[in-house]
Structure 1
Amino acid sequence: MPKLSYGGRTVAGVSEVEESRAFGELVRAHRRRLGLTQEELATKAGLSVRSIVKIEGGRTAAPRPPTVRLLADVFGLTGADAEHFRRCAAGAAEPPAAPPRAGVPAQLPPDVSAFTGREEQLGALDAAADQATAVLVAVVTGPAGAGKTALAVRWAHRVRERFPDGQLYLNLRGSDPAQPMTAADALVRLLAALGVTGEEVPVDVDDRAARFRTEIADRRVLLLLDNASTAGQVRPLLPGTASSAVLVTSRDALAGLVAVDGAHRLAVGLLPPGDAHALLRRLIGPRAAAAEDAVARIAEQCARLPLALRVAAELAASRADTGLDDLAAELHDQRRRLDLLVVDDDPRASVRVVLSWSIRHLPPGVARTFALLGLHPGPDLDAHAAAALTGAALGPARGELELLARANLVHRTGPGRYGMHDLLRAYALELAPGGPQLDGLLDYYRAAAAAAMNVAYPTDAHHRPAVPPAAGPLPELADREAARAWLDRERAVLIAIVAGAAAAGRPGHAVDLARVLARHLGADPADAVTVHGHALDAALASGDRAGEAHSRNVLGVALLRLGRPAAVEVLERAVELFAAIGDPAGQARALNNLGYAASRQGRLPSAVASFEAALRLFRQVGDRTGAARTLNNLGLAEERQGRYAAAEQHHLEALALYRALGDPGGEAGALTDLGIAEHRLGRLDEAAEHHRQALSMFLDGLDRVGEAWARNGLGEAALALGNPAGAVDHHTAALDAATAAGVRDQQARAHRGLGEAHEALRDRASARTHRVLAATLYAELGMPEPA
Structure 2
Amino acid sequence: MDGRVLGVVNLEVPGRKRIFGPTKPAALFGLLVTSTDLRCSRKEVFGFLWPERPDYSRQLVERAMSDLRKVLGEEHLPQTGSGFCVLRVPRESVDYLRFLDALERAERLPWPEQVEVLSRALAEFSDEEPLRGIPGKAFAALRLKLGAARLAAVRRQLEAAWQAQDWKLLGGEAERWYRSLPDEDWPFHYYLLARGRELPPMELEKIVKQWTGRFGTPGTALQRVIDWVRGEVPSPSIAGSAQGPNQLPAPGRRVLGRSDLIRSTVELVLARQAAGRGTVIVISGMAGIGKTTLALELAGRLRDRFSDGALYAELRGFAGEATPPADPEHVLDRFLPELPPYTRAATAEDKAAALRSALAHRSVLMVLDDARDARQVVPLLPGVGISTVIVTSRSKLRDLRAKHEVQFCQIEGLDEESAMALLQEPIDPRNRAAHTQPLADLVKSCAGHPLALTVIAGRLEERSLGAVVELARQLKEERRTMEVLCDPQGDLSFEPALNLSVRALSEEARRLLWQLAIHPGPSIGWGAVMDLGLAGESIRADRALEELAAANLVELRDDRYRLHDLVRNFARYRIQPLPPGPCRELEEATVRQVLEHQLQNVRACDRLLDAGRTLPVGEPDEVTVAEPGGQDRAMELLDTEYDTVRGCIGLAIARGAERYVWLLPMVLVAYQWRRHHLTAALEGLGAAREAVERFEGATPVDRAMVYRMLAGTHWRRAEYEIAVGPLNRAVRLSSGDDSAVGRLSRARSLHALALTLRKLAVATDDQECWARAEAHHLTALGLYRELADPVGEAAALGGIGTIHLDRGELDEALAVCREARLVVEPTSDQGGLADVLYTLAKVHLVRGERPVALPLFEEAGGIYRRQEHWPNEAKVLWTYADALVAAGRREEAVAVLERVVVLREHMGGEGVPEARRRIEPLR
Q: Which moved more, 1:401-410 or 1:635-644?
A: 401-410
Q: Match of 1:661, SS?
A: coil
Query: C-alpha offsets along residues 693-748 of structure 1, whole Å, 9 cap, x if unaligned?
Result: 3334444444434432432333232344455675555444434434435697xx59
Q: Structure 1: which amino acid aligns with 2:533?
A: T
Deviation at 1:599, TM superposition (A): 2.5
Partner of 1:306: 494
Query: Which structure 2 residues correspond to residues 84-99 of structure 1 after superposition, within 5 A?
Result: none
Q: Distance in 1 between matches of 2:571 and 2:744?
A: 47
* Alpha-carbon spacing, 1:368–1:691, altered in 2? closer, same or farther (3 Å): same
* Alpha-carbon spacing, 1:532–1:248, altered in 2? closer, same or farther (3 Å): farther
In the alignment of these two chains, the number of paired residues is: 492
2:611 is the alignment partner of 1:460? yes
Deviation at 1:389, TM superposition (A): 2.5
* Alpha-carbon spacing, 1:413–1:563, altered in 2? closer, same or farther (3 Å): same
Partner of 2:734: 578
Partner of 2:681: 528
Partner of 1:634: 800
Query: Which structure 2 residues correspond to residues 364-443 of structure 1 after superposition, within 5 A?
Result: 364-391=507-534, 396-407=540-551, 409-412=553-556, 414-419=558-563, 420-428=567-575, 432-434=583-585, 436-443=589-596
Q: Distance in 1 between matches of 2:657 and 2:72?
A: 50
8 Å CA contact 2:711, 2:724 repeated in 1: yes
Query: Which structure 2 residues correspond to residues 627-666 of structure 1 after superposition, within 5 A?
Result: 627-666=793-832
* Alpha-carbon spacing, 1:650–1:113, altered in 2? closer, same or farther (3 Å): farther
Match of 2:749 among 590, 593, 617: 590
2:645 is the alignment partner of 1:472? no
Q: Distance in 2 between matches of 1:120 and 1:13?
A: 33
Match of 1:270 among 480, 487, 490: 487
* Alpha-carbon spacing, 1:720–1:136, altered in 2? closer, same or farther (3 Å): same
Partner of 1:251: 474
* Alpha-carbon spacing, 1:644–1:386, altered in 2? closer, same or farther (3 Å): same
Higher relative contact order (CA 8 A, sep 6+): 1
Partner of 1:89: none
Deviation at 1:499, TM superposition (A): 3.0
Q: Match of 2:574, SS?
A: helix
2:688 is the alignment partner of 1:511? no
Q: Which has the larger radius of gyration?
A: 2
Partner of 1:297: none
Q: Structure 2: which amino acid aligns with 1:138?
A: P
Q: Distance in 2 between matches of 1:500 and 1:606?
A: 42
Query: Which structure 2 residues correspond to residues 321-332 of structure 1 after superposition, within 5 A?
Result: none
Match of 1:608 among 774, 782, 791: 774
Q: Distance in 1 between matches of 2:625 and 2:543?
A: 17
Q: Structure 1: which amino acid aligns with 2:527?
A: H
Partner of 1:599: 758
* Alpha-carbon spacing, 1:141–1:510, altered in 2? closer, same or farther (3 Å): closer
Query: C-alpha offsets along residues 746-781 of structure 1, whole Å, 9 cap, x if unaligned?
Result: x59x959976x98xx7x9xx9xxxxxxxxxxxxxxx
8 Å CA contact 1:446, 1:513 repeated in 2: yes
8 Å CA contact 1:708, 1:737 repeated in 2: yes
Q: Match of 2:437, SS?
A: strand
* Alpha-carbon spacing, 1:521–1:110, altered in 2? closer, same or farther (3 Å): farther
Query: C-alpha offsets along residues 319-344 of structure 1, whole Å, 9 cap, x if unaligned?
Result: xxxxxxxxxxxxxxxxxxxxxxxxxx
Deviation at 1:469, TM superposition (A): 1.7
TM-score (norm 1): 0.54
* Alpha-carbon spacing, 1:704–1:736, altered in 2? closer, same or farther (3 Å): same
Partner of 1:740: 906
Q: Which runs of 5+ in 1 are unaligned?
A: 1-11, 16-95, 159-230, 232-244, 255-266, 277-303, 316-357, 767-787
Q: Distance in 1 between matches of 2:816 and 2:419?
A: 73
Q: Structure 2: which amino acid aligns with 1:530?
A: E
Q: Distance in 2 between matches of 1:390 and 1:568?
A: 46
Partner of 2:708: 553
Q: Indicate the RMSD between aligned Cα atoms, in angstroms.
A: 4.7
2:834 is the alignment partner of 1:668? yes
Partner of 2:725: 569
Q: Distance in 2 between matches of 1:642 and 1:752?
A: 28
Q: Match of 2:734, SS?
A: helix
Query: Which structure 2 residues correspond to residues 444-459 of structure 1 after superposition, within 5 A?
Result: 444-455=597-608, 457=609
Q: Which runs of 5+ in 2 are unaligned?
A: 1-12, 17-69, 81-85, 89-255, 259-288, 295-417, 458-465, 478-483, 763-768
* Alpha-carbon spacing, 1:546–1:378, altered in 2? closer, same or farther (3 Å): farther
* Alpha-carbon spacing, 1:153–1:614, altered in 2? closer, same or farther (3 Å): farther
Query: C-alpha offsets along residues 280-314 of structure 1, whole Å, 9 cap, x if unaligned?
Result: xxxxxxxxxxxxxxxxxxxxxxxx522322331x3
Q: Match of 1:251, SS?
A: helix
Q: Match of 1:417, SS?
A: strand
Partner of 2:437: 137
* Alpha-carbon spacing, 1:152–1:590, altered in 2? closer, same or farther (3 Å): farther
* Alpha-carbon spacing, 1:661–1:129, altered in 2? closer, same or farther (3 Å): farther
Q: Distance in 2 between matches of 1:743 and 1:586?
A: 35
Deviation at 1:14, TM superposition (A): 6.0
Q: Distance in 2 between matches of 1:730 and 1:616?
A: 38
Q: Match of 2:825, SS?
A: helix
* Alpha-carbon spacing, 1:121–1:754, altered in 2? closer, same or farther (3 Å): closer
8 Å CA contact 1:270, 1:305 repeated in 2: yes
Q: Match of 1:490, SS?
A: helix
8 Å CA contact 1:440, 1:470 repeated in 2: no
Query: Which structure 2 residues correspond to residues 182-201 of structure 1 after superposition, within 5 A?
Result: none
TM-score (norm 2): 0.46
2:491 is the alignment partner of 1:491? no
Partner of 1:208: none
Query: Which structure 2 residues correspond to residues 150-229 of structure 1 after superposition, within 5 A?
Result: 150-151=449-450
* Alpha-carbon spacing, 1:366–1:120, altered in 2? closer, same or farther (3 Å): closer
Deviation at 1:559, TM superposition (A): 1.9
8 Å CA contact 1:145, 1:307 repeated in 2: no
Query: C-alpha offsets along residues 424-443 of structure 1, whole Å, 9 cap, x if unaligned?
Result: 22335886441544333322
8 Å CA contact 1:501, 1:510 repeated in 2: yes
* Alpha-carbon spacing, 1:454–1:475, altered in 2? closer, same or farther (3 Å): same
8 Å CA contact 2:601, 2:627 repeated in 1: no
Q: Match of 1:591, SS?
A: helix
Match of 1:682 among 824, 844, 848: 848
Q: Distance in 2 between matches of 1:115 and 1:247?
A: 31
Q: Distance in 2 between matches of 1:733 and 1:121?
A: 40
Q: Match of 1:471, SS?
A: coil
Q: Match of 1:380, SS?
A: coil
Q: Structure 2: which amino acid aligns with 1:490?
A: E
Q: Distance in 2 between matches of 1:648 and 1:556?
A: 29
8 Å CA contact 1:546, 1:578 repeated in 2: yes
Q: Structure 2: which amino acid aligns with 1:518?
A: V
Deviation at 1:247, TM superposition (A): 13
Q: Match of 1:585, SS?
A: helix
Q: Distance in 2 between matches of 1:554 and 1:665?
A: 17
Q: Distance in 2 between matches of 1:364 and 1:490?
A: 29
Q: Distance in 2 between matches of 1:464 and 1:752?
A: 39
Q: Structure 2: which amino acid aligns with 1:424?
A: A
Query: C-alpha offsets along residues 642-668 of structure 1, whole Å, 9 cap, x if unaligned?
Result: 122222222212211221103333323
